[in-house]
Amino acid sequence: MAAAWAQWEHVTKVDPDKALHDGDTYAGIADTGTDAIIVGGTTNVTEARVQPILDVLSSTEIPIFVEPTYRPSSSHTEALSGYLLPIVLNADDPLWITGAHHEWVRSSDLQWDYVHPEAYIVLNPTSSVAMYTQADCDLDVDDVVAYAELAEQVLGQQIVYLEYSGMLGDPAVVASTRDALSSAQLFYGGGIHDYESAYQMATVADTVIVGDVLHEDGVVTVEETVRGVRDAKHDS
């Protein structure tokens, strides 16, 4: 069976620690045409904040995944398609490589079919995810490519996630990373804010993820990024 994310071209990440744009609703995110919703963030992703969002999204058709930074009291809810578990390859703090994960596994009653790892490479040193994980972002393209190969060929990861959260990344680095992967899927996230940036990154990544634009500019602009991604995939 194909992986759940095999067909994802555009994903919207909802940060439970941030408000939606004025007038937007969680249910409205699915209407943008985005392929999936990931609920996740660096701070305050607690079950108390996530569960109401899942409840509101329960009637939507698209897959909903959570990047957990809390221990779920139930391992699966109706609205939830599964968990995407970030492993930050370039974290200096091992808490973000296996530490928190070990605790999560130890203390949760997990259904493994619903848990999928993501191999993150964090590349914006000023982002909160870089600061929390103490990520070494001083990487050249060869370093990034080597992390991607390590992820796929050594660690068996099916998702490699270039995380530029808050800034638009270097398309050449993204393109080289995808070239280095054989079957793993390349997620790109960071700084997508309009049609053009979405189009550009969709030409070099398999899956484009938007985050802040949802909270700052709203679903209308998310929809614009969906169009950018669709056009790029159509033209390539």
Which of 72, 83, 78, 77 has the alpha carbon at shortest distance from 108?
A: 72
Instruction: State the Cα–Cα distance between residues 73 and 75, nearest whole angstrom.
Output: 7
163 touches ligand 1GP (CB under 6 A): yes
Query: Contacting ligand 1GP (CB under 6 A), which of 32, 51, 165, 185?
Result: 165
Q: How far is the CB of 33 from ligand 1GP (least distance, A)?
A: 17
CA distance 125 to 214: 22
**Does 13 sit near ligand 1GP (CB under 6 A)?**
yes
The residue count for binding ligand 1GP (CB under 6 A) is 13
Q: Which of 29, 209, 222, 232 binds ligand 1GP (CB under 6 A)?
A: 209
Q: How far apart are CA 66 and CA 146, in angstroms?
A: 27
In order of 14, 183, 185, 205, 219, the CA distances from 179 in angstroms are 29, 10, 11, 10, 32
Residue 117 or 166 with smaller CB distance to ligand 1GP: 166
- Type of residue found at 236: S
Binding-site member from 68, 82, 86, 189 for ligand 1GP (CB under 6 A): 189
Determine if 211 is a binding residue for ligand 1GP (CB under 6 A): yes
Sign of the CA dihedral running 123, 103, 5, 142:
positive
Rounded to a whole number of angstroms, the distance between the first and last alpha carbons of the chain is 26
Residue closer to ligand 1GP (CB basis): 180 or 213: 213
Which one of residues 212, 217, 223, 231 is an interface residue with ligand 1GP (CB under 6 A)?
212
Q: To the nearest whole angstrom, how small is the minimum distance from the Cβ of residue 150 to ligand 1GP? A: 20
Residue 191 contacts ligand 1GP per CB under 6 A = yes
Candidates 74-82, 107-115, 142-150, 159-167; binding stretch for ligand 1GP (CB under 6 A): 159-167
Residue 192 as a binder of ligand 1GP (CB under 6 A): the answer is: yes
> Does residue 206 contact residue 177 with C-beta atoms inside 8 Å?
no
Residue 166 or 171: the one with the smaller Cβ distance to ligand 1GP is 166
Nearest Cα neighbor of 207 from 18, 68, 4 is 4
Q: For binding to ligand 1GP (CB under 6 A), which residues are involved?
A: 13, 163, 165-166, 189-192, 209-213
